[in-house]
Chains A and B, each alone.
Chain A
């Protein structure tokens, strides 16, 4: 075990993946000698050479198109999109190509070896274009896997699993936690399961569900709620697509209440999908309406970021209202 921040854990995962398999290649804007604007790919070019860790031109649709071809050829591309806010020029390559490659060819060809890493989320004074959480756009696309880690230990194990998973995976990294989240990380190779949520804390009154950086927000909110005597069950969804319905439903059957929180705007957010499915599964067991604590239906603001943000106070209020409904 070593103490690492999330960036170090991600860098460690990439290092291990590249050492284990010479077909793993890391590329994107500024990922080469500079090691990426956040330094997630530090020293990889120095260690594995310019052919396996390199800068690309500034063209997101090209980066993902290139990754699609490289994966179809049999390599393991790990493409970085510098900010999730800039992933949209590659939307066509991801949604129409990566996601459909296997299906449309009857499994003659696939791009399952590819992983897209991209920092997402607010809380760093990034304004409209360095703060977004675009997971819901991609969650509407069968064929993709979408993974979000909450801390360094999870980041390393889930990233290694994403690289080795035989399906194209988008790995959203909570950039607010890159340096802020520090924890014990096992040395060497290990993988954490995709498609499985994790119950972090058991409770009986209400289930509180989130992913990525929101798990820190949930921790704070739950601490407040428990002081008031509300027993909270906390779940990290970890994989947005395909998501673990059973774990969430089982919890809600027990608690009868569900609070979901994410940074992305309310309307069309993934919480809506979860709410719809859970009310189908747990209709007769629900004691209160499923609550969603999310960003507002605005572009991501700058100066009023704190007001916009689904922070611990808002999550706490939702927990309280849900239990006292």
Chain B
């Protein structure tokens, strides 16, 4: 059964979709002025500054923590650098009660929601205050109170999960939606197709936000797909689709705000493709000089999304040089001081090795745990992180 009306032709006619050109929404120029004919979204000064502070916080956190990784304090780190407008602009256009299901480079969204530097640090150092109990590599943040789903390393698995989560929101009728972030590389995974098709079929309030940042580790976008980016795929699912300048905070905000309206009010899922650039390396284990030029990076440095927003704020007289200086200094100090504190906190207790596998520790696992404790008691010096936890036992 189908309602599609098919037109007939009587000679073979192929199409590869090239006749469709998907435009890119742009509002803000690099100098902070608006493009002719564009209208800035309705953002209050308070909200604009909340967005801007989150962007600056993210940039400083990223710089400092990459540095900490290079000093050997951290095992691993991933920066959001260059993509702050995409991530924070979209998160800011949502309701704070909407669910965020991120890939791993979206710490800016978490900063916007109010995750504290303490909370970031506790996860990065996997100390006893880490919500994730020291089980995951750095940057795998999660917060139930901020509606930010804990990050999972496998790529794109969060996409069909977002569809399911949003279906539950629709059934609950709570007026909330789910945004799910992923890179243009992750969009090659089968889970992308699974999640978007199911979202369109089941009409869920979900926003699929692709950060097309040009690279999947070293693989450039033109070796990832032959098509014109990710956006054309939306047509195949009959999904409302829009492409935005991902370094333009106002365009990202406006597109996401409109997408949220479609999602929540009409149960129409939306695909947003944000065109941006991963200015930093993929991770602390990566070195981009092996696969792209300094010149290419320089072009994108000129399009810095934070500077662009700062220029807009300055033009609106909502921000001054002295405020900028104060924010920069305060955040650098806070990051440094918090890092020192977090680093000194003890690791999670030994029990956290075996809890949360199930709601209760099953008998066979409990036996393994007892055996481990006996072993640690025998070799306490070999297990400095946990020897103190097993003293005094039989």
Contact = CB atoms under 8 A, between A and B. Distances in A.
B269 interface: no
Nearest to A72: B165
Contacts of A74: 168, 172
Interface residues of B, number: 50
B365 A142 contact: yes
A69 B163 contact: yes
Interface in A118-173: 142-143, 145, 166-167
A143 B131 contact: no
A61 B158 CA distance: 11
B191 interface: yes
A157 to B, nearest CB: 20
B130 A242 contact: no
Interface in B145-171: 149-150, 152, 154, 157, 159-169, 171
A106 B357 contact: no
22 contacts: A56-B202, A59-B197, A61-B190, A61-B191, A62-B191, A64-B160, A65-B194, A66-B161, A67-B164, A69-B162, A69-B178, A70-B168, A72-B149, A73-B165, A77-B164, A102-B356, A102-B357, A102-B358, A104-B150, A106-B150, A109-B142, A145-B358
B161 A97 contact: yes
Contact of A57 (B144, B152, B201, B364): B201
A108 B131 CA distance: 7
A142 B160 contact: no
Interface of A: 23, 25, 51-52, 54, 56-57, 59, 61-62, 64-75, 77, 89, 92-93, 96-97, 100, 102-110, 112, 142-143, 145, 166-167, 195, 242-243, 245-246
B143 interface: yes
B323 interface: no
B135 interface: yes
Given A67-B164, A72-B161, A104 B194 contact: no
Contacts of A25: 171
B140 interface: yes
B364 A73 contact: no
A217 B358 CA distance: 33
Contact of B140 (A71, A96, A104, A109): A104
A109 B147 CA distance: 10
Contacts of B169: 73
B12 to A, nearest CB: 28
Contacts of B193: 59, 62
Interface string B364-390: 110000000000000000000000000
Nearest to B165: A69
Given A69-B162, A69-B164, A70-B164, A245 B364 contact: yes
Contact of B356 (A54, A56, A93, A107): A107
Interface in B179-234: 190-191, 193-195, 197-198, 201-202
Question: Which 6 pairs across A and B sit closest by C-beta, in order of nearness?
Answer: A65-B160, A69-B164, A62-B194, A73-B168, A69-B161, A105-B150
B296 interface: no
A109 B150 contact: yes
Contacts of B365: 142, 242
A244 to B, nearest CB: 8
